[in-house]
Homo-oligomer: A and B are copies of this chain.
Amino acid sequence: MTIYDIAREAGVAASTVSRVINNRPGIKKETRQKVQTLLKKYNYIPDAAARGLVMQSSRLVGILIVDIRVAHHTESAFVIEQELTRRGYCCITMGTGPRDEDKADYIRILEQRRVEGVILMGSMFETEAVQESIKKHLPRVPIVMVNGYLDLPNVSGVIVDEDTGVEKCVNLLFARGKSRLAFVLDSRSPANFRKQQGFCDGMRRHGVKEEDIWKYEMKESSVQGGYDITVQILRERPDIQGIIYTIDLVAVGGVRAAYDMGISVPDRLALIGIDNSIYGEICIPKLTTLDNRLQDLSESAATILREGLEGKVQSKKLMMFSEIIEREST
């Protein structure tokens, strides 16, 4: 069913049908009526591709997420999609997978679909390959990174100061009398390295010697992974007093490990996660966590992208501040 089919049956020209569809003025009432009846009769819906072709605009926004199973990323995507959908854009979100070349390739796919704006979710997109792909394929399309940044004229970033946030966590633990601390990295994302940097800075500021700044890295970012690494840490360093994890999901595995080993939290061991996710509210004791304010981050990202879509200024770098939510594990 095309406008021509409708036009023929209505005994008018295709352009008239087009005018009716787009509510253009200057159509006789009866003609408009007649056409509209037919449109309804055949459940006619214009082809977005054809319309986009002639209008030179797709009204499409791409949201790229490395892994849509990661809770805090879908939370963000939800907020952003809501806002942009309200503004008349059609948000298509896609999972790229962790491989760098695939992430870059999805930039190409977005060019192919002629998106008018892009959201990049998470610091995992802060890579050379992605940067090059943007330069190649989407050098003029407004792009906003959530918790990440790339130095390109059309890319904006909304980031949270997780480094100083983690430093504050270190301070909190010291204030609670815990000074022998470890840091657990769940995956090698730029954001996580920033967190680790904050940990090291905090420890140094407290006069801890370099060899007593304990850093651990895990194989798999999961509850089980958090469990395993925590057991290992407790074996290697029986006198440890506190652990900071890059992500709640992994920290709750640590809570369980402590429980199974008969180590009381927070008395003997204090635990802190990051993200202020639902996981931290489930476990017993409830997890102290660094709130990186993803909700606010996402809203800002949506706003900045909207401005970009409307042709306003680009390439902002917005910084937000994280804060500790102290619960039962410290």
Contact = CB atoms under 8 A, between A and B. Distances in A.
B284 A113 contact: no
B95 A92 contact: no
A162 B282 CA distance: 25
A278 interface: yes
Contacts of A278: 223, 249, 279
Contact of A113 (B90, B256, B283): B90
A49 B30 CA distance: 34
Interface residues of A, number: 49
Interface of A: 43, 45-50, 52-53, 58, 67-69, 71, 74-75, 77-78, 81-82, 90-95, 97, 108-109, 111-114, 136-137, 223-224, 249, 252-253, 255-256, 259, 278-279, 281-284
By Cβ-Cβ distance, the 9 closest A-B pairs, closest first, are: A92-B92, A49-B49, A43-B136, A48-B112, A252-B282, A68-B74, A284-B284, A45-B111, A282-B282
B45 A112 contact: yes
The prevalent SS among residues of A at the interface is helix
Contacts of A68: 68, 74, 77-78, 81, 93
A51 to B, nearest CB: 9
A223 B45 contact: no
Contacts of A75: 69
14 contacts: A45-B108, A48-B112, A49-B49, A49-B50, A49-B52, A49-B113, A50-B53, A53-B53, A69-B78, A78-B95, A81-B95, A90-B109, A256-B284, A282-B282
